[in-house]
Amino acid sequence: MTYSTLIFASVILPISVLVLFFDHSAEYKNLILCIMSVIFISWGHSVLSALVLLSMLADYFLALGVGKLRESSKGAAAALVAADLAWNAAIFFLFARNGTIADGSRFKIAESLVPVGAAFYTLRNFTYVFDVFKGRCRAEKNPAVLFTYTSAYPFLLAGPVTRYADIEPQLRERHMDVHLLSEGLTRFAFGFAKTILAVPVLTKLYETGLSHDEPTLAGAWIGMICFFGSAYFTFMGLSDMGTGIARMNGFSVDVNYTPICTKHGISSLVRSANTSMIDLCADIRGEGAASKALLTVPLALMATAFYYSEPRYLLVGLAAGVIMTVEALFGFGRLEKIPAFIRVIVTAALAMLVFSGLAFGSFGEWKSWLGQLAGRGDLYILSKPMKKLLVNNCWLLAVSFISVTPIVPFLAKRAEASSGGTYTRARALRTAWAALLLILSFVMLAGDMIA
């Protein structure tokens, strides 16, 4: 089951959230969350879902061992951390091979990814043991609390990588209120719309534009832009849904995606796409020049492997890691002194060349696309299938554009200013737009099921 399925959005999520208001105790909320999380994970995969409990127990005992040994025997504690890394890597492999968490996706770009939920699930479990080793938190002695942390469905599919030290106080005490519920539902609605309304259209456009049947110059550019757009909407939409669901369950978590910038070149671009994972990698790597030179590329390969299962995609991660290593050794301070327009042009060109490799199944297809950019395709502007897609889906593209640009926040601020500083009109505008997007998304999902 995923966030973008009709059964989750219309049944599992509403029931889970509404039942939480029956009791104010954290123990009750954790129990409900654990039950709903087990249903979410095990839906259609009852056998493999047992790995979730088994994984938690391994992390639980390994963390207790690390907590006892980190002061008396650093080497033995480090060995336990390495064992936990190997254990979670094995669990990730089993999840990825069997599609346990993110199986049955509607979207081709998501289908080509290693199940994102498995990646964040196993990575979050490892960070708990790692943080105990680093002294950021103590080993949890209550297995029920740890199970809530490791299995909570709001954190399963697209981050952020919630660190146990940051979320532990909320596991023991959190409060539900209407404002938090409204804020979470609004963010969920925007994320839901991005994945349901925008991603399928952008996916069709990039598949058509990059098709070898009717190659054109405009199609090559539009197709690649739509490929990046589909990836952006997929990851950002899932992250918005995860953050919104967390808030609806009483948690306050950081947003996993920051505004795209080129301040530090490719490093900033990559960080904006997955802030919490990059911060974790930076924490593991350290800030020394030697560690940056030695560990950036391996960590980039690890991060790539979390998303893409096929070995050829590791070349993209390798190229990105090499570029980020050069940027780190060159110095981010020096990069900031480069004129902004030059940074934007260089970063965009490097991103287009490197990450475009994720859109193709072979080097030959990528090379053919570069030829289309050079004008080797047909002379007409757009192929007939591309024109048809653009015309038939122009309203979806317009809705998607409005949803991810500052238009709605800008109008909300104008409404707030015109109403004397009150939030009534601003909230009404944002709520109305979120409700419209949610209704459209449900209609599209229901239509797909009927079709």
Residue 379 above 60 pLDDT? no
Q: Do residue 289 and residue 197 come from a single domain? A: yes
* Residue 80 pLDDT greater than 90, yes or no: yes
- DSSP code string of 9-59: IIIIHHHHHHHGGG---HHHHHHHHHHHHHHHHHTT-TTTTHHHHHHHHHH
The runs of H, that is alpha helices, within 101-177 are: 108-111, 116-134, 143-151, 164-172
Across 350-362, b (16+ Cβ under 10 Å) vs e yields: bbeebbbbbbbee
Distances (CA, A) of 161 to 149, 275, 299: 11, 9, 15
147 touches 56 (CB < 8 A):
yes
| Domain identity same for 278 and 336 | yes
**Is residue 154 situated within a structural domain?**
yes
Asked if residue 419 is part of any domain, the answer here is no
The answer to whether residue 114 scores a pLDDT higher than 60 is no
Q: Is residue 320 part of a domain?
A: yes
Q: Does residue 120 lie within any of the structural domains?
A: yes
**Higher pLDDT pick, 406 / 221:** 221
Asked whether residue 227 falls in the same domain as residue 367, the answer is: yes
Note the pLDDT tens digit of each residue in 400-444: 676 666 555 555 566 556 655 555 666 677 777 788 888 888 887
Which ranges of 156-198 does DSSP label H, i.e. alpha helix?
164-172, 178-193
CB atoms near residue 138 (< 10 Å): 14
Say if residue 162 is in the same domain as residue 185. no
Distance in angstroms (rounded) separating the CA atoms of residues 309 and 171: 33
- Residue 62's pLDDT band (boundaries 50, 70, 90)? very high
Q: Are residues 198 and 93 in the same domain?
A: no
Residue 9 has pLDDT above 90, yes or no: no
Write out the two tokens for 451: 């079709």
Backbone angles phi, psi at 203, to 5 degrees: -65, -45
Give domain status of residue 398, yes or no. no
DSSP, collapsed to helix, strand or coil, labels residue 286 as: coil
On the CB side of 306, CA atoms within 13 Å amount to 24
Summarised one tens digit per residue, pLDDT across range 280-294 is: 777 777 766 667 667
Domain check: are 252 and 136 in the same one? Answer: no
What is the residue-averaged pLDDT of the chain? 78
448 within some domain: no
Whether 338 and 311 have beta carbons less than 8 Å apart is answered as no
pTM of the model: 0.78
Contacts of 34 (CB under 8 A, 6+ apart): 144, 147, 148, 151, 152
Sorting pLDDT into bands at 50, 70 and 90, what band is 82?
A: very high
Kindly tell me if the per-residue pLDDT of 311 is higher than 80: no
- Domain assignment present for residue 388? The answer is no
Domain co-membership, 162 together with 188? no
| Mean pLDDT confidence for 157-178 | 80
When pLDDT is cut at 50, 70 and 90, the band that residue 387 belongs to is: confident
Mean per-residue pLDDT for 354-370? 81
136 and 200 share one domain:
no
- Of 118, 139, 173, the residue that ends a domain is 173
Q: Is 100 helix (H, G, I), strand (E, B) or coil?
A: coil
Same domain, 230 and 164: no
Cα-atom radius of gyration of the chain, to the nearest Å? 23
46, part of any domain:
yes
Last residue of a domain, one of 173, 207, 239: 173
Tell me the residue range of the domain where 111 lies: 6-173
Residues 22 and 169 in one domain: yes
Assess whether 116 and 137 both reside in one domain: yes
Q: Token pair of 247, please?
A: 């808030």
Instruction: Return d(Cα 354, Cα 282) in angstroms, integer.
Output: 22
The helix/strand/coil state of 216 is strand
Q: Which of 152, 173, 194 is the last residue of a domain?
A: 173
What are the two backbone dihedrals, phi and then psi, of residue 231, each rounded to the nearest 5 degrees?
-65, -45
Question: Considering the chain, what percentage of its residues have pLDDT values greater than 70?
Answer: 79
Residue 420: the pLDDT is 54
pLDDT at 211: 75
Number of domains in the chain: 2
239 shares a domain with 160: no
Q: Are 265 and 346 in contact (CB under 8 A)?
A: yes
Determine the pLDDT at residue 110: 38
Spatial distance between the Cα atoms of 383 and 3, rounded to a whole number of angstroms? 34
